[in-house]
Structure 1
Amino acid sequence: MTSDEVLLPTTRRALLHRVATAQTEGRTPSLVAAVQRDGRIAWSGARSCVDGHEPDGDTQFRIGSITKTFTAVLVMRLRDEGLLDLDDPLEKHLPGTDAGQVTVFQLLGHSGGLGAETPAPWWERTPGGTRPELADVLGEKPLIHPSGRRHHYSNPGYTLLGSLVERLRGDSWAEVLRREILEPLGMDRTTLQAHAPHAGGWAVHPWADVMLPEPAEDLGLMAPAGQLWSTTTDLLRFAAFLAQGDERVLRVSSTAEMRAPAAPAEAGDWAGAYGLGLQAVRRGDRTLLGHSGSLPGFLATLWFSVEDDVAAVVLSNATSGPLVGSVAADLVQIVADAEPRIPAPWRPLPDFDEELLELTGLWYWGTLVYGLKLLADGEFELQPLRGAGRAARFRARPDGTWTGLAGYYAGETLRVVRSADGTVDHLDLGSFVFTREPYDRSAAIPGGVDEGGWRGLAI
C-alpha cells in the first residue's frame, strides 16, 4: 500500500485541492506539503510553476524559525541532565551579555523582555559575520520590556540560548544539534546549509507575475533562531517526536512541558499561545502545536494535533505569498474531520489495588456531587455529576498522596484521610473536604455540621 492509499480518495482530493489553491492564489514558485497520521506519512503533494519539476519529500527548503524548536529541545536536554534549571538567570551560565537577569525559561517562551530583532542591518539578509559578538546581536539596550511581564517574540533571545548550549556542551550549536537530535531521529536531510535537491528562494513582485532571487545568507550567531534547511519527511519525524516523545532525545514529560503555554498571549490574541519553543493555536475545538518560519525566499509551517495524531508540514519558496500556516492547519483539519481517529479497544485493568477501588464512586463537596473514577493508566479522575464544578485528574505520588494534573487543581494535593480505625473519613483536596454523604456528620468537616441535621420548611 502506498502512502496515498492510507487515506480515502475524497480526502486525498481535498488535500490536493487545498495545496493547489494555495500555490496558485499565493503566487509561489513551488509548494510542497505532507500529512502524517498514526506515525506514518499518509499523504504528500506539491505544485510548481515549472511543469514536471514539483518538489517532493526529499527536497530541502529553508525553515526559518522552526529552527527555534530544535534549539529549545537542546536546552531542555541540558535541564533534564541537571546542567541548568529553567529558573536560572542567564548570567549564571553565560555571563557578560547585558541580559543576564533574564531566565532560561523566559528566553524559551519569549517573555524575557528582549527586542524582537537585532540592530540594523536586517539580519536575515546580511552575512552572519556582520554580528561577530553577542553584543552585536543584542545592541546597546537589549531589554525593551520588564522581564517576565509579557510575551514578546525575540530572535536575539534564541541566539542567547544557542550560545548557552555551546557554553555548557563545549561544542558548536550545529554539532550538538546533529549529535543529539538529528542523528537519533534519522533526520539526515536537515542541515545548516542547502544540499541538493533543494529549492531556491524567490521574491515575487506584488503587482506583476515576475520574480527576483533572494540571497541565502549564513546567519552566524543567529543560526539557532533560523538557520536550518529541511524537508517535509524530516519535519514529520520531528513532529512525531514532539507529540509522542522519544527517550533517546528527550523525556516524554519534557516534551509535554514544552507544549504547555509559558507566557500570557498578547492582548487581543487569545486564540494563540507560546510554550517552550512551540507555538499553540486554537482551531475550533482543536489545539494545534508546532512552529512557523520565514526567511527571505521561504515560508514554512509545521502543525500537529496530539489528540488526533495528525501532523502537517507546508513549505514554499517565496518571501511572501501563501499563508502556509493556514494551509497546514487546514490539512490537519481535513484529515482529522474526514477520517477521525479510531479509538483503541477498551480493555479491563490487568491488575488493581483493592484500596483504590474502595475510593471510587460518589463523593460530595458540601452539596455538590462528584464521581471518582479509577482510570486504566492508574490515575484518578474526579468529575462533577450535576451542576457546576471543577473536574480534575490525579497521578499517584510515592508517599500515597495524589497530584492534580491540569486546570484549577494542577499541582494541588489530594489526600485520603482515615479515621483511627483505618476507615476512610474523607478526601482532602487542597483543604477542600469531600465526604461520602453531603455534609456527613460522622466526618471531620471544618466548621462542623449543625446538630439539628437536615430539615424541611416549617409552616
Structure 2
Amino acid sequence: MPPPRIEIDPSTARALSQRIAVEQKESRLPSVAAGVTRKGALVWADARGTVDGRADGVAADPDTQYRIGSITKTFVAVAVMRLRDEGRVDLDDRVEDHVTGTDFGRVTIAQLLSHASGLQAETDGPWWERTTGGDWSDLTSPSPVQRLRAGRRYHYSNVGYGALGELLARAHGIPWHEVVARDLLAPLGMTRTTTRPDGKAAQGLAVHPFADLLLAEPEHDGGAMAPAGQLWSTVEDLARWAVLLGGDTGDILRPDTLDEMLEPQVVSDLPGQAWTSAHGLGWQVWNHEGTRYAGHGGSMPGFLAGLQVDVESGDGAVWFANSTTGMKPFGRDLVTMLGEREPLEPAPWHSGGSSADAIEIVGIWHWGPAVTIVRAMGDGDLALGVPGEGRGARFRSVGDGSWVGLDGYYAGEPLRVVRDEAGSVSHLDLASFRYTRLPYDPARDIPGGVDDAGWR
C-alpha cells in the first residue's frame, strides 16, 4: 500500500500543482507526475500532460508508471547493506571475494557503492540504455576495466552497479530483482514498482529540440546492466521509498545503517567550481545553502526521474517525466515550497533526564588555555563544545564510564573519565588530549608538565 495521505492547506496544494504545470509547459514535457511526503505520508500528488504526449491522449496521474533509471541503484545499495548487516559481506571486501573472474576484482564493495572504484562508466558494447542486455558473462567478456585508481576520486560507474547486482544474485541464489522484490518492495507494499512496465505506464519519448515533435524511445530488459537503471515506479509507490529515506526505515534497514549510507564518501569535484554534491553508499547527497539533502536522480532514454529528501526535516519529493531530456531537477523546489508555506513545528522541549555519569562531568573544561563546555543532552549523549564547529562533537556512553565520539574530529575516538584516589573526577582524557577544570591545572597529570613558575 502507498503511504497514507494527510491533509495540507488547499492553497499549498494549488501552488505545488502550479509548479509542475509550469514545468510541464516550459520544459516541453509530454507529462509530469510528482508527489511530496511528510511525517511518513504522501501529503500531495498530482500530474500534468498525457502518457503518450498527444493532446487527446490518456492523462497521466500519480498511479502512472515511469522508468526511474538510476534510482534503481538505491534499491540495490540497500539490499547490499542488508547483506552487510547480516554479516555476510564486509564493505572492505574485494569484489573478487564474492564475484570472481573480472579484471577489477581488487576494488571494494564500498568503492562500488560510492562510485569511487574508478571502474569504467559504461559498457564497451552498443549504447546499453537503448539495447537489450546480455547476461553477466556477456558483460565481462572482455572484462570491464578501471579508468582511474580505486579511491582516487568520484567517477560514476553504471557498470559498477551491474557488478553489485551480480553480487546480490550470487549471495542469495536468485536474480537481483527478485531479492529487491522480496526483501524491499513487498514489505513496503510497493506493488507498482516492477522491472518492466505493468498496467498504466507512460510511453518513453524524445522531444525534438527544434520542433514540437515526438519520437518513441525503445523499452527493453537491460540484462546484467539492469541493476543500474531497470525499475519502473509511480508517485504513490516511490513516495514510500522517500519516506524510508526520510528516516522511517521500519524493518527494512537499521537507522544507523541509513545514517552510514548518507555520509559523504566522495565529492563531485569539478575544476573551478565549489562542490555541493557528493555520493554516499548508494545515495547522492547535496549541501544546498547549508541544508543537507539526500536522494538520487534517474534518466533513461524516454524518461527522467528524481527523489530528494531534506535529511533534517524528513520532507521529501519524487518526480517523473516521460522525456529523454529537458526536465529540471525541481523536486527541491517542491520540498522548499512545502516547508515555507507550512513549516514544521519544532518538537517541544522536555526534561529527558541524564545519567549520573553524564551529570558528573558537565560544565566548564579546559584544553590547555582553551575553554569549552560539556553538556548532557536529553537523549543521553554528551556534547563537547558546539557539535559541528571546530572540534565540537557528540559522545555516546559505551557502558563502562567511557564515551565514544559520534561525529566531527573525534568520531570513533574514546573519551575516558579519569578519577583520583578518592574516586572524584580528576580530568578527561580525549584521544590523548587532557581536559582539566582549570587551564593547565598543576594538580593534574598534564603531559609535558606545567611550568613551576605557573601563570605570570
Q: TM-score, normalised to structure 1's length?
A: 0.93
Residues 270-312 of structure 1: per-residue CA shift (max 9 Å, x gap): 1000001100112212111000001111000000012122000
The answer to which of 440-449 and 28-37 deviates more is 440-449
Query: Do residues 380 (structure 1) and 382 (structure 2) align?
Result: yes
Q: Does structure 1 conserve the Cα–Cα contact (< 8 Å) formed by 2:355 and 2:380?
A: no
The amino acid that maps onto 1:104 is I
CA–CA separation in structure 2 for the residues paired with 1:20 and 1:215: 27
Q: Does structure 2 conserve the Cα–Cα contact (< 8 Å) formed by 1:308 and 1:340?
A: no
- The number of equivalent residue pairs is 446
Distance change (3 Å), C-alpha of 1:140 and 1:186: closer
- Partner residue, 1:73: 78
The amino acid that maps onto 1:339 is E
Q: 1:252 aligns with which of 208, 232, 255?
A: 255
Q: How does 1:14-93 map to 2 (within 5 A)?
A: 14-48=15-49, 50=55, 53-93=58-98
Q: How does 1:179-258 map to 2 (within 5 A)?
A: 179-258=182-261
- Partner residue, 1:453: 454
CA–CA separation in structure 1 for the residues paired with 2:445 and 2:383: 23
Q: Does structure 2 conserve the Cα–Cα contact (< 8 Å) formed by 1:4 and 1:12?
A: no
Structure 1 portions without partners, runs of 5+: none
The amino acid that maps onto 1:369 is V
Query: Do residues 329 (structure 1) and 332 (structure 2) align?
Result: yes
CA–CA separation in structure 1 for the residues paired with 2:417 and 2:6: 52
The amino acid that maps onto 2:135 is P
The amino acid that maps onto 1:144 is R
Q: Does structure 1 conserve the Cα–Cα contact (< 8 Å) formed by 2:383 and 2:394?
A: yes
CA–CA separation in structure 2 for the residues paired with 1:146 and 1:62: 33
Q: 2:116 aligns with which of 105, 111, 132?
A: 111
Q: TM-score, normalised to structure 2's length?
A: 0.93
- Partner residue, 1:426: 427
Query: Do residues 273 (structure 1) and 275 (structure 2) align?
Result: no
CA–CA separation in structure 2 for the residues paired with 1:355 and 1:397: 11
SS of residue paired to 2:72? helix
- Partner residue, 1:145: 148
Q: Does structure 2 conserve the Cα–Cα contact (< 8 Å) formed by 1:97 and 1:134?
A: no
The answer to which of 300-309 and 442-451 deviates more is 442-451
CA–CA separation in structure 1 for the residues paired with 2:346 and 2:338: 16
CA–CA separation in structure 2 for the residues paired with 1:454 and 1:91: 61
CA–CA separation in structure 2 for the residues paired with 1:389 and 1:172: 47
Q: Does structure 1 conserve the Cα–Cα contact (< 8 Å) formed by 2:394 and 2:406?
A: yes
Q: Quote the offset at 1:138 in angstroms.
A: 7.0
Query: Do residues 393 (structure 1) and 398 (structure 2) align?
Result: no
- Partner residue, 1:292: 297
Residues 20-76 of structure 1: per-residue CA shift (max 9 Å, x gap): 111111101100110011111111121115468432221110000000000001110
Q: Does structure 2 conserve the Cα–Cα contact (< 8 Å) formed by 1:75 and 1:165?
A: yes
SS of residue paired to 2:266? coil
- Partner residue, 1:320: 325
CA–CA separation in structure 2 for the residues paired with 1:241 and 1:209: 39
**In angstroms, what is the RMSD of aligned CA positions?**
1.9
Residues 406-432 of structure 1: per-residue CA shift (max 9 Å, x gap): 111111111111112211111111111
- Partner residue, 2:357: 355
Q: Does structure 2 conserve the Cα–Cα contact (< 8 Å) formed by 1:245 and 1:251?
A: no
Q: 1:124 aligns with which of 129, 137, 149?
A: 129
The answer to which of 157-166 and 361-370 deviates more is 361-370
Distance change (3 Å), C-alpha of 1:40 and 1:166: same
The amino acid that maps onto 1:356 is A
Q: Quote the offset at 1:317 in angstroms.
A: 0.3
The amino acid that maps onto 1:337 is E
The amino acid that maps onto 1:362 is I
Identical residues among aligned pairs (%): 48
SS of residue paired to 1:79? helix
SS of residue paired to 1:192? coil
Q: Does structure 1 conserve the Cα–Cα contact (< 8 Å) formed by 2:357 and 2:401?
A: no
CA–CA separation in structure 1 for the residues paired with 2:374 and 2:346: 23
CA–CA separation in structure 1 for the residues paired with 2:104 and 2:91: 15
